[in-house]
Structure 1
Amino acid sequence: MNSTTTTTTTDRFYSIWRNRYIRDCIRCNVCRDNVINVTIEYINDNHRYLSLFTYNDKVEYNIIIQFQIINIDDVIKYTKSNHRELIDSIYIVPNFQIDNSDDSDEEDVETKQREQQLSKELMYSFHQGLRILSFPVVYQHPIGRNHKLPDSITDLHIDCGYLYDVNSPFVDMILSELPPQLKKLYLSRDLDINVPMCTIPDTLEVFEFATTSENFKHFVVPPNKRFQDCLLQVECGQDLEWVAQHTWVHRAKFASYYFDPTYVIPSHLTDIDIHARFDKLGRGVLPVSLTKLTIYEHKEPLEVGVLPPGLLDLELHYYDHQLEQGHLPDSLTKLIMRDYEKPLKPHVFGNRLKSLTLVSFNEEIQAQSLPHSLEYLDLPVFRGSFEHVGPLDNLNELKIPHLHTSVAILLQNVTKIDITTRGIPNKVFLKDTAIQDLYLLYKSLDRYNLYPGFFPSAVLNIEIRGLDIKMKGVIPDSCVSLNTDQTNLNTKLLPSSINIVKY
């Protein structure tokens, strides 16, 4: 490049960079969707650069400047900082606490009292402009004056940590007047609410809280709101009566000591977790609106038509009765069974199932028992054959403890697959499959030496973990990209077609 071209290029760059709008766009796009973790020292040293991001820039480009409070020194630094308005997110670590124990040393008592006062003052010192606040419940006594959080807060996370049945007057004070722009609210499941009324702002989009109706009843929710992450813990009949009248909660979990299989559950519930043991479900007990169901133990065999026809997601624990066609609805897209140890019969799962996990299964898989719709298959202890299954063309993730030679039949027409296994007991040949993108994780204490014919002959991209290449011909000539964790790989063993090697 001659000097004239260099000058022209340089001039062009600076002419663009002088344009403030373009410069700001470049800066914001480079930092888009990033969390910038800072200390107060870093803010003090770099506030001129951090202040180039306007409030609207950070909201639009999802740029978050976050400060973690780990100890009382961080509290002091934050409250005294002249540049704390640059902070978007404050995260107070869960183990942050003030020692309230008695101590005979007068100097130590004074220090602890000062720390307690500083920690209280912190909760009154959050700056306007703060958007995200996460803090643990550490105050078990009244604070002393009314207080509300900055109006700018959009995400609020309150965690009880390892405490149970926690009542916090400070939290009650906050809940009595939530920030008007709040979009996300997370409350720890062990939090007890004692505020007379908590009005949910219209802006709230995500509300996560698992609790009883005694706690939920304090919340006043705008009409037509439904919160996916609110879960009612059913402990008595009154809980079901309450949720029947409050449709903004549409998930319920029945405790181990309460479930009446003859009770008609409110029709708007879409997600139910039955942790109790019971004999069997009758027809009409579960609402037709149900899309997700977890059953801890169903003692009797399922009957045809008991499960709702629109059910999408089912998890069964302690169920080991033979599944027959019609026991499961054809609508199912995801199924987890933890204790099923019976053969898989044809057409049991319907033709829409995409994800199947059978935790204890190690029985025969009969022909036409695994639907072609499957995309995810997890069989943690299965050591049998897939020879009767035939190709599963939509499969993109397979988890099995041992790669049986018949796995080549299963993956015959698949072009992209992730495989996780703990063993390759016999030589497996994938060379005749259509796989072009392969990720293989070998989860064993010992590494495995690969051999020619293992990889698909048309493979383009290979990523392997726990496997070694120690001879020529292992990697097909079609491969252009190899990602491996082998530290002593001899690149002379690789074909010339590979132009990218990552370690």
Structure 2
Amino acid sequence: MTISTTNTHRFYSLWRNRYIRDCIRNNVCRDILIDATIEYLNNNHRYLSLFAYNDKVEYNIIIQFRIKNRNDVIGYVNNKHRDLIDRISIDIGEDVAIDNDQQQQQAPRVIRYDCNLFHQGLRSLSFYNQHIVGSGKLPDSIRKLTIYNNHKLRNNINNPLVDMILAELPPKLELLYLPSGLNINVSTCRLPDTLNYFNFQGTHENLKPFIVPPNKVFDCTIDIKSDQDLQWLAQHTWVIKAMFETKYNATRVLPSHLTSIRIHSIDGRLEKGILPSSLTSLYIFDYNEPLEVGVLPPGLQWLDLSDYDHPLEQGHLPDSLTELDLGCYNQPLKPFVLPNNLTTLAMDSFNQECFQANTLPRSLSYLQFWSFKGSFEHVSPLDNPVYNGHKPQLIVDSLHESVAILLQNVTTIKIRTNQISGNVYLKDTAIQNLDIHSVNRFSLYPGFLPSAVKKIIMKGVDIKMDNLIPQSCVYLKTDIVDLNTKLIPLTVQIVK
């Protein structure tokens, strides 16, 4: 018996074991989302039915069905394989009802959902916020319920369907997402103990109907418009975010349990002890008072001071900070002022001559300086960072030749710039994946591209000479309309 025959027999002996076969199938399809139409269900139900319900939950295998029109509703209700569907999403303006022929002729047309039409076993349901009249009851099997914002409609929307659902939520619900601008018109809504994620933004009047299990906190935001809103917030610690829609008095101490605060404008100057020590995220749009050491909480991770333009000193920013946005900042940046763990830095108005040594942390992976035309010659190379699972990104007004120092160790980078000087050479960097976009078109020249680059995406870049694309490159995406392919190595896949 040959080795090939032996391997074949071994494979089939394993494949005949149902447990092993199911484990292989589930692991191969882990975290997969299958978009199914009625036709797809009819043609593939034999294969889809091989996934057991519990296996789909454990391995996050989701069969999704989208309702786009009345035919989809009828097809779903009458389909004998609909029990295979795990998630249903419904487009704006679509009814989920069968006996609505007469209703379609009425003006204005009333949107209706008959919740009894949804099958038991459905795990996830999503639709858009609008005035919907509901009947029936959602299946107890629903684990995730998402109502999206409808940007076509104004705020303060009454949604009778949502009120009906909130009066009796599915008992095993794990995720609930409600859109901002939704009016809550039920006296009480008891959140199930199984709920792990709840997102909603509103005034205390819209938040107070919710009865929350003990020791639960949720990703909810209260709109502070009055002292009454602030008083309610202090007594309900399950709401951990606040947004001030009126001017905030800087002398007022904020509730100690808040983790995120957004303020449009402040009356006065922030002092020590005003901001909660639990705060991890702070956004203040209209604030330009000098910071002092200890004003910002020691655990703050995200800071956006759009109008701030005072010199920063050591200790002004907490060491915990990872994301910083100073839109109007244009002061010389001193060494060791920025925290060592900073990953995101945006200073759109910064236009000094250069960055001095020890000013930019090596941990940075997203740098946005839309006004900067200067040099990076004194900074240390970045540590090959990753930006929230995305490509590291550099945004500058003009790409200076010293950028090669900054990017020396980076293997993947996205560059956005308005112009590129003629003496930028990336050939000696470690970049293998380069995505570059220049607003003003420029022509490639020898040595600009990294010598080890494998994948290139470029816009606003022209290729007019031979031997500009390194032999290491295997992929090129470009916006050049009349690209001369003779200038590109034969091993490169060209995408337009």
Pairwise same-fold verdict (TM > 0.5): yes
Deviations 1:52-71 (A, max 9, x none): 22211211221111111112
User: In structure 1, what is the equivalent of residue 477 of structure 2?
Assistant: 485
Summarize the alignment of residues 90-489 of structure 1 with structure 2, pairs less than 5 Å apart: 90-96=88-94, 111-112=104-105, 120=112, 122-139=114-131, 143=134, 147-161=136-150, 162-227=153-218, 229-255=219-245, 257-367=246-356, 368-393=358-383, 396-433=392-429, 435-444=430-439, 446=441, 448-457=442-451, 459=452, 461-466=454-459, 467=461, 471-475=465-469, 479=472, 481-486=473-478, 488=483
Q: 1:7/1:157 Cα in 2 relative to 1: closer, same or farther (>3 Å)?
A: same
Deviation at 1:283, TM superposition (A): 2.5
Give the aligned partner of residue 74 of structure 1. 72
Q: Is the 8 A contact 2:401 2:423 kept in 1?
A: yes
C-alpha contact 1:36 1:64 (8 A) present in aligned 2 = yes
CA shift for structure 1 position 414: 4.2
Q: CA deviation at 1:209?
A: 0.6
Identity between Structure 1 and Structure 2 (%): 52
Describe the superposition over 1:362-420 as per-residue Cα deviations: whole angstroms up to 9, x where unpaired. Answer: 22344233233433211123112223434444555322232111112323444554433
Give the residue type in structure 2 aligned to 1:112.
Answer: Q
* Secondary structure class of the residue paired with 1:252: strand
Contact 2:247/2:267 (8 A) holds in 1: no
Letter in 1 for 2:163: D
Secondary structure class of the residue paired with 1:273: strand
**Partners of 1:234 and 1:258 within 8 A in 2:** no
- Structure 1 window deviating more from structure 2 (176-185 vs 303-312): it is 303-312
CA separation of 1:40 and 1:70: change in aligned 2, threshold 3 A: same
**Alpha-carbon contact 1:385-1:404 (below 8 Å) kept:** yes
State the alpha-carbon separation in 2 of the partners of residues 400 and 34 from structure 1: 38
**CA 1:114/1:60 → structure 2, altered by over 3 Å: closer, same or farther?**
farther
Instruction: Find the residue that maps to 1:401 and give its secondary structure.
Output: strand
**Structure 1 residue 361: deviation in Å?**
2.0
Q: 1:249 to 1:81 in 2, by over 3 A?
A: same
3-state SS in 2 of match to 1:444: strand
For 2:426, the aligned partner's letter is L
* Structure 1 residues 132-153: Cα deviation after superposition (integer angstroms, max 9, x where no partner): 0012244455x5x6x4321111
User: How many angstroms does 1:5 deviate by?
Assistant: 6.4
Aligned match of 1:40: 38
CA contact (8 A) 1:226 1:250 kept: yes
In structure 1, what is the equivalent of residue 389 of structure 2?
none
- Opposite residue 74 of structure 2, the aligned amino acid is I
Which amino acid in structure 2 is aligned with residue 454 of structure 1? F
Give the aligned residue type for 2:238: W
After TM superposition, the structure 1 stretch with the greater mean CA deviation from structure 2, 58-67 or 416-425, is: 416-425
Deviation at 1:460, TM superposition (A): 5.5
Alpha-carbon separation, structure 2, partners of 1:97 and 1:443? 47
Q: Name the CA shift for 1:451/1:156 in 2 (closer, same or farther; >3 Å).
A: same
Cα shift readout 1:139-172 (whole Å, capped 9, x = no counterpart): 455x5x6x43211111001235124212223212
Partner Cα separation in structure 2 for residue 247 and residue 108 of structure 1: 48
Counterpart residue type for residue 200 of structure 1: L
Matches of 2:6 and 2:363, distance apart in 1: 58
DSSP 3-state at the match of 1:157 = strand
Report Cα offsets for 1:326-385 as digits up to 9, x if no partner. Answer: 433333221011222333233332433222111222223442332334332111231122
Matches of 2:287 and 2:143, distance apart in 1 = 43
**Which amino acid counterpart does residue 217 of structure 1 have in structure 2?**
K
Amino acid at match of 1:397: Q
Q: Tell me how far apart the structure 2 counterparts of residues 352 and 205 of structure 1 sit (CA, whole Å).
A: 29
Distance in 2, Cα, partners of 1:270 & 1:404: 39
| In 2: Cα distance, 1:199 partner to 1:452 partner | 67
CA 1:108–1:62 in 2, change beyond 3 Å: closer, same or farther?
closer
Shift of 1:37: 1.4
Q: What is the Cα deviation at residue 320 of structure 1?
A: 2.5
Structure 2: runs of 5 or more not aligned = 386-391
Distance of 1:375 and 1:295 partners within structure 2: 24
CA distance in 1, matches of 2:435, 2:35: 34
Q: Once the two structures are superposed, what CA deviation does each residue of 1:88-136 show, in whole Å capped at 9, x if it has no partner?
A: 11101124369xxxxxxxx98564369979x646322111000000122
Secondary structure of the corresponding residue to residue 342 of structure 1: coil
Check conservation: 2:329, 2:349, Cα contact below 8 A.
yes
Secondary structure of 2:105 counterpart: helix
Conservation of the 8 A alpha-carbon contact between 2:355 and 2:375: no
| Distance of 1:355 and 1:160 partners within structure 2 | 28
Count of aligned residue pairs for this structure pair: 479
- In the other structure, the counterpart of 1:29 is 27
Separation of aligned partners in 1, 2:107 and 2:242 = 45
CA drift at 1:485: 1.1
Q: Which whole-Å CA distance do the structure 1 matches of 2:95 and 2:137 have between them?
A: 21
Shift of 1:13: 4.4
Change (3 A) 1:417 1:78: closer
